[in-house]
Structure formats: structure tokens, C-alpha cells
A and B are shown apart, each in its own frame.
Chain A
Amino acid sequence: MDILLSQLFTGLSIGSVLLLVALGLAIIYGAMGVINLAHGEFVMLGAYATWLLQSTLGLSLLPCLFLVFLMVAAAGWAVERTVVRFLYRRPLDTILATWGVGIMLQQAVRLAAGADLRYVETPNPLSGSIDLAGVAIPSYRLFVLAFAAALLGVTWFVVQRTEFGMKLRAVTQNREMASCTGIDSARVFSLTFAFGSGLAGLAGALVAPIKSVAPDMGTNFVVDAFMVVVVGGVGSLFGTVASSGLLGGGTAGFAFLLNDTLAKALVFLGVIVLVRFRPQGLFAATGRR
């Protein structure tokens, strides 16, 4: 029973990390249709920004988060302005361009911060574990879970309930038409890209205390993030949540019953089968695209 509970929690916490990483991508890919292969590098930038703030200014993790969001969002905005915006009508070139940007970011960080693994401290009150129905739950994992849920709420609110979100949805549905009604679609896209990058940066800041911080840490994240978005269905926030939970739970479950190596293979197999029979993903957004 205990084991079942802690296993359930493990699944949820893997899912929450997936959700954090995929949320930014879901926005960028879902709303703008840009396949951003540099997404993992924005996660990495977030982790390094946290390390930088922590080691130079001595800030603890929580106050870092807001600054990290702004810093990585700014980086995302710059990338959109200088590279991505010229390629909206050439999706294949975007893949190549963002991949190149990713490599450049990786090498830039390697040159600036060195190739050494860095570490980010877990904030003290969250470093232990708490007892929940007889099961020891790492408090930091619980915090990450709560934070992911909160970010999801914020993102949903921004997209569904603000004027910016309304413009974004309009541009997503039909860019020309939206421009005709006076929406500055270029600005909407820049801000969306910045917002998505900022979310990736937050994900990096939050996973840094659990994992190690290295220049090539983004590579794994970008694969996971795409898997979540593709399974969930492009353009569907709810789908992203559902598929993070599903993939997290699946990975944790198989890993417990078998082992981590097989779990990874089985989850990939499941995704391939799903995409074969339901290429639009579990919860595809309805509407004209």
C-alpha cells in the first residue's frame, strides 16, 4: 500500500517535471506552429541563470524564479526577433535554424561558464521530506508539483481570459484575418515566443536542484517535451496536462515493475503506436488550421 502510494507520487512528480518542460513548448508549437528545437537550451539557460544568481548574489531559489523567467524570456524574445520571425512561412527551415541556435547557446554557455557540472541548492525548508499517510514524500517534489499546477493555471488564464490571449488565439486561427482587424500579429508572436521561453527557463530553474546543471542538459528535455506535446495533441493545454500525467505515470510504473531502461523503450513504443493510429494526438484542438 505504502509502495503503491509512493509509486503514485513518483509518477505524478515525473509528470509534473514533464509538464513544466512541455508547457512552454506547447504554447510555442501549439499556438505558433514553430518547431523550436532550441527549447531544451532555454531550459538549460534557466538552470544556469539560477546558478548564476545563486552563486553571485546569494539569492535563494524562490526569489530567483521571477528573475529567471524575465531573463530567459528576454533571450527568447531576442531569438524570435533575430531569427524565427523571418521563417514563419518556412517551417522546415525553422527546425534547422532553431537547432543551430540551440547549439550556439550550448557552446556559448560552455565557453562562459565552463564545462564543469554546476549545482543549485534546494531551498532549506524544502530539502527534507514530509510524511503523508505513512509515506515519505520529498517536500521539494511536492513543491514542484504545486508550482507546475500553478503555472498551468496562469497559462490557461493568460490564453483564455486576457486580451493578449484573445489576440493570440485570433492570430493562431488565421493570421491574415487577425492582422486585418488591427492586431499587431508580429508583436503577438514575439511576446508568445518570449512567454514560452520564459516558461522553459522556469522549468530549468525548478529541475536544477533535483538534477545536475550542465551545458548539454537540454538535449534530453527537448525530446521529452515534444513527446508530451505530440501525444497530448497540438494546441491543447488540457492534452498537454493529460499526456504529462500519462507519460510520467507510465514511465514510473514500468520502471518500478521492470527497470528504467525498459520503461523508456516501452513508453516510446506506446507513443509510436498511438501516433500511428491517432496522429492528431489524444486531445487535438478542434477548429480550422
Chain B
Amino acid sequence: MTLTRRHFLKSAAIAGAAGTAASPQFWIKNSGMAWAAGKEIKVGVLFSLTGTTAVVEKSLHNATLMAIDEINASGGINGMKVVPVIEDPASDPATFAEKANKLVLNDRCATVFGSYTSASRKAVLPVFEKRKNLYWYPTLYEGRECSKSVIYTGAVPNQQQKEFIPWLVRNFGKRFYLVGSNYIYPKEENNVCKILLKELGGEVVGEEYVPLGHSEFGSVLNKFRETKPDVIFSTVVGDSVIALHKQYKAAGFSPDRMPMASLTTSEVEIAAMGGEYAAGHFTSAPYFMGHESAENAAFIEGYQRRFGKDSVTHFVSEAAYFQVHLFRQAVEKLGTGDITPTNIRDAAGGQEIKAPQGRVKVDADTLHCYLWPKIGQAQANGQFKVIQQSADWVKPEPYWAYPGLSCTRDGLKGA
């Protein structure tokens, strides 16, 4: 084929149009804009305000906005005002991904705070990795993740269990019954629990997973009756926690002899079941509302002033709160022209802050946090009494149960 003038013009026009269309500036307004412009820095707030997990996520949303308020009230970050862009992903992982895209591309948020469930975090992960943006995740979770686009401020299994399991064995005995909801988080936690028990010469007398939302624990309780464990290790989540505690008590069991030891029961669940059902059982977490410190008193006072005097704070809302302050510290270190999500991430590594639970630090290698695990015993008034706190902050080891694998600054190493 010879190249005629007409042909050439036609293809050039098509190529030109395609070229414009392919560059992000053409499709997405604002994409050429700086991350912080006109004395403002935009951050995304991505917690479900409707749908099944809205109850808990609303409290994370509140804690995040409260921290942003505090920062702006004290003059912003280097004179820049933090502007929250709020989206409601409606408890649906696909919607999470869609809204994350919008926050990152259209709104040009330099960072997004969000997610409660692992499913929603996994859904948004590709967005943040592809767009080189930064996500802050406040929930305790199963570990085994080493993304360089997420800062994890909740506990991983080694932080919640390493002191808890030996303490339980010492105080109650070696025979454990593991019961959890049927999904990834309880299975990973139970893996860690089994390794720790083996080291201590303990025994797993039963392992059981119930469907999410399960509310008939009669058969499970009969298995407790039959196997007579010393400790019931529970990673049941959501509504099921309430049904389990109520039916446990009605079946005539007593936490003095066979306590439930949980990683997931917080002040929120206890408020929904009534304190008398939770009283005597144990939870391990880095934060309890009943923890005594000046930072926590200020946190609770501020939270209740904004959201009602009956509202409770818990181990996820605390992380949702302090992670925004960690963000502030990281951005403070950067010049206005240097503000990009990647630079914020690099500046966040090694940052320390006095959180309500104690002094926490972002581990520069794993981007998880050094935390202060505590053992709390639920009381009839709906609060936890902190009965033991770790002597030092505990290093996050997201691959603790997987020898040979380690999360480093350059990503996952080993095996």
C-alpha cells in the first residue's frame, strides 16, 4: 500500500485523538494538579455509613473526622487545612474499589483512611498500588500482607496472642477449644494460636468454624460440654458474638472455670448484648476504653462531647483516631512541593506518637505499628478492666506464623 496524503492525514488524526484520550489529563479532571494546592490537602475518608458493617464503621468514620478537626483547630499541617472527602462504600467490597478510584483520581486525595473488613481492604489494594497512592487501615487483621501502599495501624496476630496465650495457659489450663467465624481471619489467628500452644505443650480439643451471621450455638455449646476445655478461644465476629455470649450464659456455663478468650469482642459488642453476658470473659487488644492514661482521657472526652455521652471508643476506633495524627506528623516533615503519597509513606516510617494506648511507632520495614497489647476482662458495666499490659511495645510481625518469609522495605522476602 502506498502512503497517500489522504491516508496519512486520516491516520494521524486518529492517532492524535487516541493520544489525547489515552493521557490521564484528558479523561480525569484535576489529575495534573499538585497533591496539596491552595493551602489545602485533601484526604479521603472511606468507611461504610450504610450496610451490614455500618455500625462499627460509623465509629471509625467519627474518630477519623474528630482527628481531622483537632488538626485543623490547631492550625492545620504547616498552615495547610486538611479537607476530608467523604464517601460511603455501603459495606460492599466492589463499591469500596469504585469509591477508592474516585478519591484517588478525581479528588486527588494524597491519602485515604478507610476499611474495617479484610475483604474491603483486599478490594481497594490494587487501586492504591496501581496509582501509587497511600491507604491507612486501622483494623486488627490476620497479617500475611506486605503492601507498600498501606500503613497498618491495627494489631497483627503475634501482637495480640504472644502474651495472651501463655497467660491463659498459666491461669486456666492447656486444653483449648477454638471457635471462629468461617473466613480467613479466624483461620490465620488459629494457626498462630496452635503454634503457640504447641510450644507450651497445650492441646487443641476442638476447632470449629460457624457461618458468618450464625446465631444458633446450641450444638457448639454441647461440644464444649462434652470436651470440657479450659479455655474457649473465640474469633467469632459480628452479630454471632452476641448470640454466643447470651447462649453460653443461658446454658449454665461460667467464665470462672471455662472463660472465653477473644480477639474480637470489644466494647461495641458488649453494649449490644448487655454487660452481664460478657462479664468475666477476656479479650486481648492494644486498647481498651478502660485503659488509664491522659491521652485516653482526652480521646474519650473529645469523642463523647462530639458523638454523645453514651458513645463508646474501642480498639479499632482508637487506631482510626491516632493514624490521622501519624499522617499529620509525616506531612509536617515534607515541604509543600514534596507532598506525594509515596513521600508521605516514606516520612511516616519510623514516626512515633503518643496514642491513647501508649506510645506507638510505624515500623519502616513492614509499615505496621509497634503496639501495646493488653489483656482486658469484661465487666458487668460494659467496660474492660485492664489486668495486664505488655512490658514493652511489641514489634509487628505480619509473617510470624510463616518462618522464612519476612516483610521488608523492598517487599516480601524469602521462601
Contact = CB atoms under 8 A, between A and B. Distances in A.
Interface of A: 2-3, 6-7, 9-11, 13-14, 17, 110, 115-119, 121-122, 127-129, 136, 138-141, 209-212, 214, 216-217, 220, 251-252, 255-256, 259-261, 263-264
Contacts of B58: 115
Interface stretch (B78-86, B247-255, B258-266): B247-255
B219 A10 contact: yes
B246 A118 contact: no
Contact of B214 (A11, A115, A256, A260): A260
Contacts of B246: 122, 209-211
B210 interface: yes
A3 B226 contact: yes
A263 B221 CA distance: 15
Contacts of B94: none
Given A129-B251, A210-B243, A211-B242, A117 B272 contact: yes
Given A10-B219, A252-B218, A129 B252 contact: yes
B223 interface: yes
Question: Which are the 10 A-B pairs with shortest beta-carbon distances?
Answer: A10-B218, A117-B272, A255-B219, A129-B252, A138-B250, A136-B252, A212-B242, A260-B210, A256-B219, A211-B215
Interface in B17-39: none
B20 to A, nearest CB: 44
B252 A128 contact: yes
B225 A115 contact: no
Interface residues of B, number: 36
Contact of B272 (A3, A17, A116, A140): A116
B218 A119 contact: no
A11 B216 CA distance: 10
Nearest to B243: A211
B242 A119 contact: yes
Contacts, number: 107
B125 interface: no
A117 B250 contact: no
Contacts of A216: 52
B251 A138 contact: yes
Query: Which of B247, B269, B273 is the most central at the interface, judged by chain A CB atoms within 10 Å of its CB?
Result: B247
Nearest to B242: A212
Given A119-B274, A256-B219, A129 B250 contact: yes
B16 interface: no
A212 B222 contact: no
A3 B222 contact: yes
B182 interface: yes
B65 interface: no
Given A10-B221, A255-B220, 15 more contacts: A11-B218, A115-B54, A117-B269, A117-B272, A119-B274, A128-B250, A141-B250, A210-B250, A211-B243, A211-B246, A212-B242, A212-B273, A260-B210, A260-B216, A261-B210
B239 A118 contact: no
Nearest to A264: B211
A7 B224 CA distance: 12
Contacts of B252: 128-129, 136, 138
B250 A214 contact: no
A117 B59 CA distance: 13
A251 B274 CA distance: 28
A10 to B, nearest CB: 3
Nearest to B210: A260
B272 A122 contact: no
Contacts of B250: 122, 127-129, 138-141, 210
A165 to B, nearest CB: 33
Query: Which of A118, A128, A255, A264 is the most central at the interface, judged by chain B CB atoms within 10 Å of its CB?
Result: A255
30 contacts: A3-B225, A3-B226, A6-B222, A6-B225, A10-B221, A11-B218, A13-B218, A14-B218, A115-B58, A116-B272, A117-B55, A117-B239, A117-B242, A119-B242, A121-B274, A129-B252, A140-B250, A210-B250, A212-B215, A212-B239, A212-B242, A251-B216, A255-B219, A259-B210, A260-B208, A260-B210, A261-B182, A261-B211, A263-B219, A264-B211
